[in-house]
């Protein structure tokens, strides 16, 4: 019975949670969101470029994209963070000082771009080629047809996988602490870890985990809702906008 009480107190010490909560809300949560959102934007831009290069008929575009994807998918995230965060630290010190966030965002964005590029590429290639040919027959250029018809359909098909990658970015943002953070730069995990180290109690770290769940679980359900809406509403919207394009819209 004493053992169970000790385990309960280790993970559910409410005074420890109350002590850590204000700092997690005012410091940890904003910093985690900054890292996740900034790296997601960067990773999405890189992923789109990699996807377009990966399906190109030009091998000078296709092979560099393949090498990039293999390298950054093969390396552990923490290794990439340390290589970029430590290797580029002297340059970063001259440009913006000691703030490790830009290098952390760069590392996370480069890794995310490799995965997002593969997600986009698989989505684009899953669109029937007749869609592109039909759009070209209507007078659209190749790039316009890709931008207006093929790529939107491909992204919609891989939306759950894309959001799963964004969820992974929220969790991977905790690895930036390897670069060394000031008190005002700590994210959720680092704050929970510091409280756990100082008190010998894991309750603050458990609270940090609950914050991550609050961020990731609703996002999963939200993307399922959006995906269902797109599946049910897209063809009618396209037909109202242009009857000719309704032949190209997904069924």
Tell me how crowded residue 73 is: count the other CB atoms within 10 A of its CB: 12
State the pLDDT at residue 136.
77
State the pLDDT at residue 76.
93
Rg, C-alpha atoms of the chain:
22
pLDDT tens readout for residues 205-243? 999 999 999 998 888 887 777 767 766 755 444 444 444
Q: How many CA atoms are closer than 13 Å to the CA of 8, on its beta-carbon side?
A: 5
Which of 37, 61, 213 lies closest to 109, judged by CA? 37
Q: What's the rounded Cα separation, in Å, for the pair 73 and 79?
A: 11
Residues 9-36: what's their mean pLDDT?
A: 90
Reply yes or no on whether the pLDDT at 246 is more than 60.
no
Structural domain spans, the chain: 20-247
Greatest alpha-carbon pair distance for the chain in Å reads 77
Q: What is the value of pTM for the model shown?
A: 0.82
* Residue spans of alpha helices (H) in the chain: 2-11, 14-23, 29-54, 59-74, 77-87, 89-95, 101-126, 129-137, 142-145, 151-157, 159-172, 188-199, 203-241
Q: What's the rounded Cα separation, in Å, for the pair 18 and 16?
A: 5
CB 127 within 8 A of CB 154: yes
Assign residue 140 a region (left: φ > 0; alpha: ψ between -120 and 50; beta: otherwise): beta
State the pLDDT at residue 235.
47
Give me the CATH code for the 20-247 domain, please.
1.10.3720.10
């Amino acid at each position: 019975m004493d053992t169970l009480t000790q385990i309960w107190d280790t993970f559910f010490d409410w005074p420890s949670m109350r002590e850590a909560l204000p700092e997690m809300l005012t410091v940890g949560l904003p910093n985690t969101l900054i890292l996740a959102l900034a790296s997601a934007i960067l990773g999405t831009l890189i992923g789109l470029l990699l996807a377009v290069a990966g399906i190109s008929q030009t091998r000078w575009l296709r092979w560099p994209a393949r090498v990039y994807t293999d390298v950054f998918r093969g390396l552990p995230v923490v290794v990439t963070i340390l290589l970029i965060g430590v290797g580029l630290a002297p340059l970063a010190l001259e440009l913006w000082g000691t703030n490790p966030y830009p290098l952390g965002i760069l590392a996370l964005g480069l890794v995310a771009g490799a995965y997002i590029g593969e997600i986009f590429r698989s989505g684009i290639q899953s669109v029937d080629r007749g869609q592109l040919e039909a759009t070209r027959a209507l007078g659209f250029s190749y790039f316009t047809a890709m931008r207006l018809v093929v790529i939107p359909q491909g992204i919609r098909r891989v939306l759950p996988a894309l959001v799963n990658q964004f969820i992974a970015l929220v969790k991977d943002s905790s690895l930036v602490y390897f670069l060394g953070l000031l008190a005002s730069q700590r994210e959720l995990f680092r704050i929970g870890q510091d409280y756990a180290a100082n008190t010998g109690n894991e309750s603050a770290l458990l609270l940090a985990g609950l914050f991550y769940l609050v961020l990731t679980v609703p996002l999963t359900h939200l993307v399922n809702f959006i995906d269902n809406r797109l599946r049910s509403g897209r063809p009618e919207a396209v037909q109202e906008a242009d009857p000719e394009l309704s032949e190209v819209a997904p069924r």
